[in-house]
Amino acid sequence: MHRAHTAFSLALSPMAHRNFATWLLKSGTSQKLAKATAAAAVRTYNSAAAEPFANGSTATYVEEMYNAWLRDPASVHTSWDAYFRSNTYTSPPNLAPVQANTLPLTAFNLGGGAVAGAAPDSKTIDDHLAVQAIIRSYQIRGHNIAHLDPLEINSPELPGNSSTKTIYANFSFGEQDMERQFKLPSTTFIGGDEASLPLKEILNRLENVYCNKIGVEFMFINSLEQCNWIRKHFETPGVLNFSPEEKRLILARLTRATGFEAFLAKKYSSEKRFGLEGCEIMIPALKEIIDVSTELGVESVIMGMPHRGRLNTLANVCRKPLNQIFTQFAGLEAADDGSGDVKYHLGTYIERLNRVTNKNIRLAVVANPSHLEAVDPVVQGKTRAEQFYRGDQEGKKVMSILIHGDAAFCGQGVVYETMHLSDLPDYTTHGTIHVVANNQIGFTTDPRFSRSSPYCTDVARVVNAPIFHVNADDPEAVMHVCKVAAEWRATFHKDCVIDLVGYRRNGHNEIDEPMFTQPLMYQKIRKHKNCLDLYADKLIAEGTVTGEEVKSVAAKYENICEEAFALAKTETHVKYKDWLDSPWSGFFEGKDPLKVAPTGVKEETLIHIGNRFSMPPPNAAEFVIHKGLMRVLAARKNMVDEKVTDWALGEAMAFGSLLKEGIHVRLSGQDVERGTFSHRHHVLHHQLVDKATYNSLQHMYPDQAPYSVSNSSLSEYAVLGFEHGYSMTNPNALVLWEAQFGDFSNTAQSIIDQFISSGQSKWVRQSGLVMLLPHGMEGMGPEHSSCRVERFLQMSSDDPDYFPPESDEFAVRQLHDINWIVANCTTPANLFHILRRQIALPFRKPLILCTPKSLLRHPEAKSPFSEMSEGSEFQRIIPDNGPAGQNPGSVKKVVFCSGRVYYDLTKMRAEKQLESDVAILRVEQISPFPFDLVKEQANLYKNAELVWAQEEHKNQGSWTYVQPRFLTALNHSRDVSQSDEPMSFSKTTTNTTTTTTDHTNNESASETESKPWLSRMFASNKSDGSTEGGPATGDFNAAKHFDLKNVRHDFNRPAGNAAAPGARISKTGRKISYTGRAASASTATGSKAQHIRELNALLNDAIST
C-alpha cells in the first residue's frame, strides 16, 4: 500500500511520458504486457535494471527493479517503468520467493495453446500473474472471510461470493479458464509435489486452507522465511488429516473438558466457576500445545490465565487432584495463614509424566488477581528466571503460555506492554504462545462496543506475531493450529497467537442472565449443539467411534469426578499451600525462622569490591572510556582509599558482596545501567566501538554469581510485573526494579496492589523484590518529587495500635509478620545493609525503598567503611550522635524525620546553633514501625517536645502512618483497636467461613455466626483488661482483645486537629506534633521559589525551640 502510494506520487518525467504515453492510455493488463514485451524485443541493456519486464522472473529481481525504479524511473527498462506505474506491483520484498526462481519464461506455457519452447503470449503471462496475485490475495485476506464464528453471526454468507469479492474481485476468470493448468509460484505450497494445477483446483485448495475454519493472519510479518514457513504448514496438502487414534484422543479430551463443567454445574449449581462452556476445546488445545512442545524438548511450562476455564485447566491440563479442586467449593476454614483467594484465582504447580510423550513435565499456573491481564508480565518474569537458572538461553526447556479473554486481550494496555518485552535481550522468554478464549463477549459487552480493531488479537501484529484464528467448534482445525503454534515457537522462538473463536454458553458467570443484554446471540446459542456432541456425531458418522464408545468415555469420567467428590467431602480444611505456584523447595527447611544472618562484611571485601568498581576494563588501553567517566572512576578510587562510600559505591558494595556469596543480582528499570541521575555507571561504553561494554560488577570474583543490569522498555506496569515474577522463582536472588522517578510507579499500581503488597497473604507466595523509588521534594515540580510513600505505608499491614512484645527478636518478628518493608535511608551504609538484609532474612518480604536524588552527590551523605564492615548492621532509627544525643536530658526538642530532609534540618540547626537543644532522629525503616526504638529514644529525651518533621505535604509522606504508631509507642501500650484481627495485607479474606466480600447490611444470623469478627463485635463484653491502658506487652493473641466499648470509643474519639499542625494528645500526656507543609492536592509546587520558601518555613518551625 505504502509502496503503491509512493509509486503514484512520483512525477512522471518527460522521458517517461514520451516512452509510455500509449501504454498509459490503454487499460488492459495484456495490452500493457504486449507493449512491454514489444519494447523488450527492440532494446538490449547490459545492466539488470535495463532488462525488460518480461525477462524478469524472480521476485528478488523484480524487487531490484522496483527499487531502481523508485530511485529513478528512467534507469529501468521502459516496460518496467510502465508496469510499476500501473500500480499492479505491490509485493513487499519479504514476500519474494526463498530461493531464486530460475524458471524460464517458457515454462508458463502449460497447454494454453502455445508451442512448447516458444515465448509465451502476453495473455498467458497476464493470466499467470493474475493467478499469483490471487494466491497472494488468499494468503493476505483469506482470514477475513474464513468461517471462524461457530454461531455464524460474523461469518460471510456464502464463501464463493465472499471470496470473489474479497479475494479476486480485480481479476476475471471465466468458467472456461477453470480447467486451465497454471504453474504454481514458489510462494505457495498448495501443490504439494505438483508444480502446476488446474485453476479450479488452485482456488479450491486455497479456499480450504484460508477460508474454511482456520484464518491465518501472517502476511504482515517482515521475514520471508517465517512467512514461507507458515504457508508451508497450512498449505501443504494433507496437513489437516488426523489418524483415528488422534481423533479419539481429541474426543476423549473434549469429553473430560465438557464433563468437568457439567459435573460442577450439577454439584454446585449456584456457585460461580466461570465455566468454559462454548470454548471447551481450549483444554484439548492446551494439551496439544504442551504435547508438541514437550516432544520438541520443553520440560517446564508456565501459564498465566484469567478466570474463564481456570478450574478446568487445573483439572484437565495440569491434572491437579480433583478432590483439591472440589474442596475449594466447600467453604472450609484454611489450615494455614493468610487471607486466601477465590478458587478461580489460585495458582498451582504440578510435576508429572506426560503420557503422550512419556516425558516428565512441570506445569505451573501462576496465581492471578481479578485484574485482567495483570498476570501476563509476572508469568514472563517467572519464565525468564526459570530459563536463567536452568541455563536455558534459547528457551528450549522452559516456555510460557498466556491465556486471554477476547475483551481483555484488546482492552488492557499491559498486553501491549508485555508484548513489547518479547524480543528484548534481557526480557525475552523466547516465544510465548498466546491463547485467546474468544467467546465474542466481555461480561455484557459485545465486540462492536469494546474494540476498534477488526480482531481482538490485533495487538500482536506490532511484534510480528502470526495470528491463527480458528473456529472453536472444529476440534481438528484447532489441534492443527496448536501444533503449528508449538512448532513455530520451537523454530523461531517468537510469540504467536491462537484465537479460539467460540461463544459463551451461559452468562458471564453461571448466575448471570445473558438474555438481558445479548438476546439474539443467546437465542442462537440456545439452539447450538455443543462442540463435543458435534464432534462425536462427526466421528460416529465417519465410523471412527461408535455411539456406545462415546457414552462410555463420558461415563468413565463422571465416575472419576464422583470419587473425587466423595473424597473432597472428607476434608476438613483447605490448604493454601496446595495452591502454591512457585514452591521454594529447601529454602525454609531447617532454618530458624527468626534468625537473620549478619549483613556487615569484612573490610577487605569492601576494599576489593571498591577497587574493582573503580577500575576501567582490564584492556583499558584499547577500551576508550569517556573522559567524564574516567573522573568518576578516579573519584571512586579516592573514596575507597579513604574508606568512605557514596550512594553508588554503597549500592555496588551491597551487590558485589552478595554476588561474592553466590547471590544472583538483577537490576532492571528505565535507564538503570547509567542511572537516571548519572550516578551509577555500571556499564561502561567504548567510545569508538558500538556495543563494546564493560561491567565491572560482573567481574568482581571468578566464582561470583551472575549480575545483570538492564535498561528496560519504557513501561512500569509490565516491567515491574516482570521483575516481580522473576523474584518469585528463586529466593536466593536480589531482584530490584528502579522507577525513573518514584511517582511513575503508579502506572504499575495493579502490580503493587494485587501482587507485591498482598501476594503472600492471598497465595502464601513470598517475594523479596526491591522497588527503588527516587523520592524527594527538590523544587522539581509536582511530578518527579514524590514516590507517594504514603500509599505504600497505607498498605502496610502492621497494626497502628498494637505494640508487639519486646524481645531480642522484636525487629525480625515484625518483619516476619508484615506484608512488606518501607524504608527511606539517608546513608549509603544503611542502603548497603538493607539491601543485604533482603537476603539475610530467613524469609522474603518486598522492600519499598525511597531513594535519593540530590543525596547521591551530597558531601555529607557518605558512610565510612566501618559502618558496613563486620559487626555493623542496618539501623532502623539513626539516633542523634551529636551534642544533643550526648546530653539528652537537656534537649528541648526532638525532631523525628525520614529521608533527605534530615540534611536540611541539621543545616538549619547548625545555623541556629541549637545542636545541644534539638536532637534530630532519622526513622530509616518506616514500616514495620520501630515501636521499640521510638519508645527508647523518647524515653531518653524525657523533657523534650517531640516533633515529626517532613517535607511532604501533611496528607502525604509518612505522617498519617507514623502518627498513630507514635502514640502507641509513646504510651507503650495498645491504644484503641478497631479489630481483634491483626491488620491484613490483602483487603478481604475469601474463605467463605471467615469473611464476606459483600458489604451490605443484610447480615443474617447464620452470616454472623460464619464471621467471627462480626459476632465478636456484637458479643457481650468479655474484656480481660487488655483494653484501654491494658497490658503494655505480652502475648500477641491476648493483646488482640476487642469489644464493643472500645469500638465506640474509637469511633467517637476526637480525630485531632487536622488543620493545625499538631496534636493528638495521648493518655499519658506525651504527644507528637506535626511540622511541615499543609495538606495539598498536588505533590509539590511547580515554582522553585515557593518550594524554597515552604521548605525554609518548615525547617524553621521544626528547629525552633
Ligand X SMILES: Cc1ncc(C[n+]2csc(CCOP(=O)(O)OP(=O)(O)O)c2C)c(N)n1
Binding site for ligand X (CB under 6 A): 308, 370-372, 405-408, 437, 439, 441-443, 508
- Read off the amino acid at residue 467: I
Q: Which does 496 bind (CB under 5 to 8 A by kind): Mg ion, ligand X, none?
A: none
* The Cα angle at residue 741 between residues 737 and 747, in degrees rounded to 5: 70
Q: Which does 1096 bind (CB under 5 to 8 A by kind): ligand X, Mg ion, none?
A: none
State the first-to-last Cα distance of the chain, in angstroms, to the nearest integer.
76
Q: Based on CB atoms, which residue is closest to ligand X, 460 or 484? A: 460
If you compute the radius of gyration of the chain from its CA atoms, what whole number of angstroms results?
Answer: 35
Write down the least CB distance from residue 762 to Mg ion, Å: 24
Write down the least CB distance from residue 438 to Mg ion, Å: 7
3-state secondary structure of 361: strand
Backbone angles phi, psi at 192, to 5 degrees: 60, -120
User: Segment contacting Mg ion (CB under 5 A): 435-443, 532-540, 784-792, 899-907?
Assistant: 435-443
Q: Based on CB atoms, which residue is closest to ligand X, 69 or 409? A: 409
Write down the least CB distance from residue 337 to Mg ion, Å: 35
Write down the least CB distance from residue 59 to ligand X, Å: 41
For cell 492443527, the residue is 480
Write down the least CB distance from residue 997 to ligand X, Å: 14
Task: Copy the grid coordinates of residue 50.
Answer: 535495463
Q: Based on CB atoms, which residue is closest to ligand X, 407 or 815? A: 407
The DSSP result for 802-823, as a single string, is --PPPSTTHHHHHHHHSS-EEE
CB 433 within 8 A of CB 489: yes
Question: Which residue in the set 120, 156, 377, 405 belongs to the binding site for Mg ion (CB under 5 A)?
Answer: 405
Number of residues that bind Mg ion (CB under 5 A): 5
CB 601 within 8 A of CB 582: no
User: Segment contacting Mg ion (CB under 5 A): 442-450, 565-573, 688-696, 953-961?
Assistant: 442-450
User: Segment contacting Mg ion (CB under 5 A): 403-411, 809-817, 860-868, 1051-1059?
Assistant: 403-411
Backbone angles phi, psi at 849, to 5 degrees: -120, 115
Write down the least CB distance from residue 509 to ligand X, Å: 9
CB 919 within 8 A of CB 944: yes
Q: Which long-range contacts (CB under 8 A, 24 or more apart) does 521-525 make?
A: 521/151, 521/153, 521/440, 521/441, 521/446, 524/151, 524/152, 524/153, 525/151, 525/278
Q: Based on CB atoms, which residue is closest to ligand X, 512 or 603? A: 512
Q: Which does 63 bind (CB under 5 to 8 A by kind): ligand X, Mg ion, none?
A: none
Q: Residue 206, exposed/middle/buried by CB under 10 A (0-12, 13-18, 19+)?
A: buried
What's the CA gap between 497 and 499, in Å, rounded?
6
Write down the least CB distance from residue 405 to ligand X, Å: 2
User: Segment contacting Mg ion (CB under 5 A): 382-390, 438-446, 485-493, 525-533?
Assistant: 438-446
Q: Based on CB atoms, which residue is closest to ligand X, 340 or 514? A: 514
Write down the least CB distance from residue 371 to ligand X, Å: 4
Q: Based on CB atoms, which residue is closest to ligand X, 407 or 1095? A: 407
Q: Which does 545 bind (CB under 5 to 8 A by kind): ligand X, Mg ion, none?
A: none
DSSP state of 906: H
Q: From residue 356 to residue 395, what is the string marking binding to Mg ion with x (rule CB under 5 A)? A: ----------------------------------------
Q: Based on CB atoms, which residue is closest to ligand X, 405 or 899? A: 405
Q: Which does 180 bind (CB under 5 to 8 A by kind): Mg ion, ligand X, none?
A: none
Q: Based on CB atoms, which residue is closest to ligand X, 441 or 486? A: 441
Write down the least CB distance from residue 509 to Mg ion, Å: 12
Q: Based on CB atoms, which residue is closest to ligand X, 318 or 403? A: 403
Helix or strand holding residue 738 (H, E): strand 733-738
Q: Based on CB atoms, which residue is closest to ligand X, 264 or 969? A: 264
Task: Copy the grid coordinates of residue 979.
Answer: 479489630
User: Segment contacting Mg ion (CB under 5 A): 266-274, 276-284, 437-445, 802-810?
Assistant: 437-445
Write down the least CB distance from residue 443 to ligand X, Å: 4
Q: Based on CB atoms, which residue is closest to ligand X, 147 or 508? A: 508
Write down the least CB distance from residue 373 to ligand X, Å: 7
Q: Residue 230, exposed/middle/buried by CB under 10 A (0-12, 13-18, 19+)?
A: buried
Question: Which residue in the set 439, 898, 956, 977 belongs to the binding site for Mg ion (CB under 5 A)?
Answer: 439
Q: Which does 408 bind (CB under 5 to 8 A by kind): ligand X, Mg ion, none?
A: ligand X
Q: Which does 1084 bind (CB under 5 to 8 A by kind): ligand X, Mg ion, none?
A: none
Among the residues of 824-882, which ranges form H helices?
828-840
What's the CA gap between 1019 and 809, in Å, rounded?
35
Q: Which does 371 bind (CB under 5 to 8 A by kind): Mg ion, ligand X, none?
A: ligand X
- Read off the amino acid at residue 599: T
Q: Based on CB atoms, which residue is closest to Mg ion, 442 or 852? A: 442
Q: Based on CB atoms, which residue is closest to ligand X, 7 or 501? A: 501
Q: Which residues have a Cβ under 8 Å from the Cβ of 368 and sit 6 or more positions away? A: 304, 305, 306, 345, 347, 374, 375, 378
Task: Copy the grid coordinates of residue 251.
Answer: 474426543
Q: Based on CB atoms, which residue is closest to ligand X, 308 or 382? A: 308
Question: Which residue in the set 126, 288, 406, 867 belongs to the binding site for Mg ion (CB under 5 A)?
Answer: 406
Q: Which of residues 819-848 bind Mg ion (CB under 5 A)?
A: none
Write down the least CB distance from residue 437 to ligand X, Å: 6
Q: Based on CB atoms, which residue is closest to ligand X, 73 or 275? A: 275
Q: Which does 587 bind (CB under 5 to 8 A by kind): ligand X, Mg ion, none?
A: none
Task: Copy the grid coordinates of residue 109.
Answer: 506455457
Write down the least CB distance from residue 1025 to Mg ion, Å: 57
Among the residues of 643-690, which ranges form H helices?
647-660
Q: Which does 288 bind (CB under 5 to 8 A by kind): Mg ion, ligand X, none?
A: none
Q: Which residues have a Cβ under 8 Å from the Cβ of 354 and sit 6 or more positions away? A: 290, 291, 294, 360, 361
The DSSP result for 127-156, as a single string, is HHHHHHHHHHHHHHHHHHHS---TT-SSS-
User: Segment contacting Mg ion (CB under 5 A): 375-383, 401-409, 698-706, 978-986?
Assistant: 401-409
Cis amide bond preceding 928, omega within 30: yes
Q: Based on CB atoms, which residue is closest to ligand X, 407 or 653? A: 407
What's the CA gap between 1056 and 1059, in Å, rounded?
9
Write down the least CB distance from residue 790 to ligand X, Å: 24
Write down the least CB distance from residue 309 to Mg ion, Å: 11
Among the residues of 167-309, which ranges form H helices?
199-210, 224-235, 244-267, 282-295
| Neighbouring C-beta atoms of residue 167, cutoff 10 Å | 26
Q: Which residues have a Cβ under 8 Å from the Cβ of 841 and sit 6 or more positions away? A: 596, 768, 812, 815
Q: Based on CB atoms, which residue is closest to ligand X, 142 or 442? A: 442
Is residue 986 part of the contact set for Mg ion (CB under 5 A)? no
Helix or strand holding residue 1013 (H, E): helix 1012-1017
For 372-413, list the strands marked E by DSSP: 398-405
3-state secondary structure of 843: coil
Sign of CA dihedral 312, 316, 319, 325: positive
User: Segment contacting Mg ion (CB under 5 A): 397-405, 817-825, 835-843, 1003-1011?
Assistant: 397-405
Write down the least CB distance from residue 415 to ligand X, Å: 10
Residue number of the CB atom closest to ligand X = 405
Backbone angles phi, psi at 699, to 5 degrees: -130, 45
Q: Which does 370 bind (CB under 5 to 8 A by kind): Mg ion, ligand X, none?
A: ligand X
CB 765 within 8 A of CB 582: yes
Positions that interact with Mg ion (CB under 5 A): 405-407, 439, 442
